[in-house]
Amino acid sequence: MIAPNILNDFAETAFFWAALVFMVAVSIAGLGALRLSLKGEAVTALMGVSSFTTVAGVGLYLISLPELFNVGFARDTAIALLVLGTVGTIIFARLFRTEG
């Protein structure tokens, strides 16, 4: 007979550590994206910023989950970063696209 709380403890610990490891990986990817956005020509910088908004948005969304840190207001920032980051990248890429 397995007590239900033991099973839940196993699942919650695994989920917590998995999310934490994922957030650390995403933060390191954010550093790489930031480095890319600070060098090279304009389109490379735009790509770096786009990648940074993605990783920041996903990290913030994970922070906002009630199963993890339950920081409710991070969710709105995450949605804004994910949606506006991608849409903004498309719009700015269209602006950069000049025939020279």
- Which residues in this chain contact another protein in the complex, by CB under 8 A? 1-2, 4, 7-15, 17-19, 21-22, 25-26, 28-29, 31-33, 35-36, 40-44, 46-48, 50-51, 54-55, 57-58, 61, 65, 67, 75, 78-79, 82-83, 86-87, 89-90, 93-94, 96-100
In terms of Cα–Cα distance, which of 84, 46, 34, 77 is closest to 59?
77
In terms of Cα–Cα distance, which of 60, 74, 76, 51 is closest to 19?
60
CB of 51 to another protein, least distance (A): 4
CB of 84 to another protein, least distance (A): 11
Our CB check for another protein shows the closer of 11 and 73 to be 11
Q: Is residue 33 classed exposed, middle or buried when 0-12, 13-18 and 19+ CB atoms within 10 A define those classes?
A: buried
Our CB check for another protein shows the closer of 18 and 73 to be 18
Beta strands (DSSP E) in 1-100 are none
